[in-house]
Amino acid sequence: MSRQQSIRKNFLVQLLISSASLILIFSSLLYFYIEKSIYDEKRDELIHYAQNISNYKAVYDFGELPDSFLSLNIEVISLISPTDQIDVYEKTSGNKTYLTLIYPFDTKQNVYLKLVKDVSPTKKLLKKIVNYIFIINIAGFLLVILYAIALSKMLASPIKKLSQDLANMNEHLMKPIQMDEIPQEFAPLAGTINHLIARIQNFVKYQKELFIGTAHELKTPLAVIKLKNQVTLIKKRSAEEYIEAINTTNKTIDEMNVIVSNILNIGRQEGAQLDQPQEVDVIELLKQKANDFQLLAENEGKRLEINFAPDVFMATLQVGLLNQIIQNFLQNALKFTPQEKKVILRSSQDDYGLLIEVIDEGCGIDESVDLFAPFKRQGNKSGVGLGLFLAKSAADALGAKIKLENRDDGVDGTKATLQLNSQLSCIIPQK
């Protein structure tokens, strides 16, 4: 069983490690800088004394002797291996630390000045500085721990609030998250959750309408069948009358079968949403649909015009869902378009992705009515009113945008659009 990772714990560990490393590096650099500065000063001081002596001047030429001169020991020595370089080294003897300078005095006779200075007080000062830096580091590290804990709690509090708000919701009580109560950094997450809540609300609403509409649509033909049978059983009738009554009953049963078939399509669509997405050429798929419906349009005395761009548009999606949307658009367009009129199927590329449009010359729609709700019908054509509901559900499953509106070019008719997101697709360049 895999262990769940804690973002807060990882954040605390990483912040503490990075802070401790930063404090350690900064403190080390600070100490080495202080140590080098002090030793450079002592070295320059010894070189200054040596230069005064080598130039036949007094050892110190600034009036009163400083206290540091009292710890200075000067000797004249000769070296077996002469050198023109100035040599400075540190030596510890007992509890004392000495800084020694070898300075050329008379290189022809291999005579050098040896200046030895007791730097034990400086060493003690550096140890105190190390102790102070260590204490400051511990205090700083404790402050970093407190800051990290407070910061992690502050960052986790919006997540806890979102979790509490979502935990208190159910299918009967769903309300969007108040954006003004969420920090700016979590606004995109809250917006996404609100969008999901809106989709769930629409789904629950449509499901309720679907069940209520199904019960209503099935209740009416059942009542008709029962009434017809009761009237038929009241008195004896001729064979022709019985045949007519049975034909009427069969017609009503066919209408019920259409409703049941559409409801089954909803179940099949939910199954199609779980199908493995395939990489397909959407333009090629549109061409196949256009070929199928061109024959149907000609038989009905109508025309289907096509205009596809770009030449190729590859997308990774469930083909069955896309087929269902395009087929519904074309069926509705041909159904409401009079004879000698035309239906346009076209596609184009925009900033969002691929825009697919089906434009008819029918009677138009009432845009104040939600035609994507189940059992919503307009016009005098037959139908159950589940086609657009299925198309909307398929578009949501594909992550696409679907829209139905009246034409705005001065011609009566309806324009149905489907916009595929380019994040799941790509353009293949033409050769």
Q: List the structure tokens of 169.
A: 């919701």
Residue 150 has what pLDDT?
84
Residue 414 has what pLDDT?
92
Residue 384 has what pLDDT?
57
In a domain, 160, yes or no: no
Which range among 132-141, 274-283, 302-311 has the greatest average pLDDT?
302-311
pLDDT at 385 over 80: no
Q: pLDDT band for position 246 (50/70/90)? A: confident
pLDDT at 273 over 60: no
In the chain, what percentage of residues exceed pLDDT 90?
12
Among 143, 178, 212, identify where a domain stops: 143
Please state the separation of Cα 282 from the chain's center in Å: 26
Burial call 214-243: b when 16+ CB within 10 Å, e when fewer: beebeeebeebbeebeeebeeeeeeeeeee
Q: Are residues 30 and 49 in the same domain?
A: yes
Alpha carbons 248 and 238: distance in angstroms, whole number:
16
In a domain, 187, yes or no: yes
Q: Of 117-126, 178-187, 349-358, give the lowest mean pLDDT range.
A: 178-187
In a domain, 156, yes or no: no
Q: Are residues 197 and 235 in the same domain?
A: yes
How many domains are contained in the chain? 3
Q: Of 88-92, 106-110, 229-233, 420-424, give the lowest mean pLDDT range.
A: 420-424
pLDDT at 193 over 50: yes
Residue 269 has what pLDDT?
57
Among 249, 274, 299, identify where a domain stops: 274
* Residue-wise pLDDT tens digits, 97-143: 888 888 887 777 778 888 888 888 888 888 898 899 889 888 888 88
pLDDT at 287 over 80: yes
Q: Are residues 60 and 136 in the same domain?
A: yes
Among 274, 299, 325, identify where a domain stops: 274
β-pair partners for 343: 304
* Residue-wise pLDDT tens digits, 394-408: 888 788 899 999 998
Q: Are residues 421 and 407 in the same domain?
A: yes
Q: Are residues 282 and 380 in the same domain?
A: yes
* Residue-wise pLDDT tens digits, 12-64: 888 888 888 888 898 889 889 988 898 888 888 888 888 887 776 555 444 44
Q: Which residue has the tokens 């005095």?
A: 105
Taking residues 182-196, report their average pLDDT.
80
Angle between helices 387-398 and 239-273 (to 10 degrees): 10
Q: Are residues 270 and 343 in the same domain?
A: no
In a domain, 237, yes or no: yes
Please state the separation of Cα 187 from the chain's center in Å: 12
In a domain, 157, yes or no: no
Residue 420: CATH number of its domain: 3.30.565.10
Q: List the structure tokens of 270.
A: 């939910």
Q: pLDDT band for position 306 (50/70/90)? A: very high
Q: Are residues 413 and 287 in the same domain?
A: yes
Please state the separation of Cα 289 from the chain's center in Å: 35
Mean pLDDT over each residue of the chain, to the nearest integer: 79
Alpha carbons 192 and 208: distance in angstroms, whole number:
24
What is the three-state SS of the chain?
Answer: CCCCCCHHHHHHHHHHHHHHHHHHHHHHHHHHHHHHHHHHHHHHHHHHHHHHHHCCCCCCCCCCCCHHHHHEEEEEEECCCCCCCCEEEEEEECCEEEEEEEEEEEHHHCEEEEEEEECHHHHHHHHHHHHHHHHHHHHHHHHHHHHHHHHHHHHHHHHHHHHHHHHCCCCCCCCCCCHHHCCHHHHHHHHHHHHHHHHHHHHHHHHHHHHHHHHHHHHHHHHHHHHHHHHHHHCCCCHHHHHHHHHHHHHHHHHHHHHHHHHHHHHHHHHHHCCCCEEEEHHHHHHHHHHHHHHHHHHCCCEEEEECCCCCCEEEECHHHHHHHHHHHHHHHHHHCCCCCEEEEEEEECCCEEEEEEECCCCCCCCCCCCCCCCCCCCCCCCCCCHHHHHHHHHHHHCCEEEEEECCCCCCCEEEEEEEEHHHEECCCCC
Q: Are residues 27 and 130 in the same domain?
A: yes
Taking residues 181-196, report their average pLDDT.
80
Alpha carbons 334 and 289: distance in angstroms, whole number:
13
In a domain, 91, yes or no: yes
Q: Are residues 335 and 217 in the same domain?
A: no
Alpha carbons 364 and 412: distance in angstroms, whole number:
6
Q: pLDDT band for position 359 (50/70/90)? A: very high
Listed residue (320, 292, 325, 311) closest to 393, CA to CA: 325
Residue 65 has what pLDDT?
45
Burial call 346-362: b when 16+ CB within 10 Å, e when fewer: bbeeeeebbbbbbbbbb
Alpha carbons 20 and 143: distance in angstroms, whole number:
11
Q: Which domain holds residue 209?
A: 169-274
Taking residues 418-424, report their average pLDDT.
77
Spatial contact of 349 and 309, defined as CB atoms under 8 Å apart: yes
Give every CB contact of residue 388 below 8 A, 6+ residues apart in sequence.
328, 332, 371, 372, 376, 404
For 1, other C-beta atoms within 10 Å of its C-beta total 3
* Residue-wise pLDDT tens digits, 215-226: 666 676 777 777
Q: pLDDT band for position 180 (50/70/90)? A: confident
Q: Are residues 229 and 310 in the same domain?
A: no
pLDDT at 346 over 90: yes
Alpha carbons 408 and 424: distance in angstroms, whole number:
30
In a domain, 107, yes or no: yes
In a domain, 78, yes or no: yes
Q: Are residues 267 and 286 in the same domain?
A: no
Q: Of 89-98, 166-175, 209-218, 277-286, give the lowest mean pLDDT range.
A: 209-218
Backbone angles phi, psi at 239, to 5 degrees: -60, -40
Taking residues 236-243, report their average pLDDT.
77
- Select the more confidently predicted residue: 382 or 134: 134
Please state the separation of Cα 11 from the chain's center in Å: 20
pTM for this predicted structure: 0.49
In the chain, what percentage of residues exceed pLDDT 70?
82
Q: Are residues 323 and 223 in the same domain?
A: no
